[in-house]
Amino acid sequence: MISGGGTGGHIYPAIAIAHAWAELYPESEILFVGAEGKMEMQKVPEAGYAIEGLPVAGLQRRFTLQNLSFPFKLWDSINKAKKLIKRFKPHAVVGVGGYASGPLLYVAQQQGVPTLIQEQNSFAGLTNKLLAKQARAFCVAYEGMDKFFPADRIHFTGNPVRKDILDLASKKESAMHHFGLKADRKVILVLGGSLGARTINNAVVASMKHFEAQGYQVLWQTGKFYIEEMTGKLAEEGLAHVHALEFIREMDLAYAAADLVISRAGALSVSELSLVGKPVIFIPSPNVAEDHQTKNALACVQQDAAILLRDEEAVDGLAGKVDELMADPNGMECLGKNIRKLGKPNAAREIVKKLEALIR
């Protein structure tokens, strides 16, 4: 059983683990457990796996009426988790973080089922910290995680990511054609996550005339909440080389086309970009628990593997930062080489090995 979700940063590593396990053991049964109403309830079936939903919800950091229902939803989720484990009889349970992994791993641990926690971030999430005492193994992507987990059970595997981003050099020409990009202009790829990032979008709006004047072209994932507003602003300016898209499905082609990437610093994004090996400007979201994204970005910056631009500085500072990098080809090459050193292309297979050991 694999549990967790809420965001793509939890869901896609979980699916990658399932794929890696299924490749080795195609006769296995794999059951996902998510939170009702969250995006895993759609994304996991699309990937070909069964999923059950728990009624669990998060605890808000301020007092709300929603918090009054939290104990009841948690109790219902624990009871449903007991029934699922009794019915499915898993040999092991994997938790990737997110609301649903709490009740399921708690019940599994109480019943003696081996549990493995996959922590994507450089700062462990609350659910994973609460489950740490009885988990048998921790697969992590950053050094120094013994601050949160017992050192003798930590395995430095990296974060599992999609396989199609491992060979990008051969895709450059088809990528440029796919997105309608010009071969004589440098490509800036802008990513704010599948939902979008207000600050990054506003920074692109503030910079896009400058980017076009400088001879750049922009491939811009706005996110579904912002696409209408951003395409409207783009139409007002009449720019030919700024391409706004709600969501980019062909991420391997987008990465192949890019000369420079501007991105939030979610754990999955950092792990993917480490394999892509392109220069990156990280603009961490300030609105995530424990300021995870800034910590993720700093882990790269400390290795001279990325540039950090603070959220509050992004709108005014993005154009200058891009110009500074584009004027320094050697610096861009150095950033790309250094971030590639942080990549773990075999993460999913390494996690499967740990699971095999637990089950044996």
Residue written as token pair 């649903």? 100
Ordered by where they begin, the domains of the chain are 2-159+345-359 (3.40.50.2000), 164-341 (3.40.50.2000)
Low-confidence ranges of the chain (pLDDT < 50): none
The predicted pLDDT at position 193 comes to 72
| pLDDT at position 176 | 98
Q: What is the pTM of this model?
A: 0.85
pLDDT digits (tens, 9 = 90+) for 256-271: 999 999 999 988 899 9
d(CA 19, CA 49): 10
The pair of three-digit structure tokens given for residue 229, joined into one six-digit string? 């507003």
Find where tokens 């910056």 sit: 301
Q: Which residues are annotated as a binding site for UDP-N-acetyl-alpha-D-glucosamine?
A: 7-9, 121, 162, 194, 248, 267-272, 293
The predicted structure's pLDDT at residue 62: 60
Contact between 58 and 23 under an 8 Å Cβ cutoff? The reply is no
Q: State CA 7 to chain mean position distance.
A: 8
Joined together, the tokens standing for residue 46 give: 């699309």
Give me the pLDDT at residue 143, please: 85
pLDDT of residue 346: 94
Beta strands in 162-214 (DSSP E): 186-191
Binding site, annotated residues:
7-9, 121, 162, 194, 248, 267-272, 293
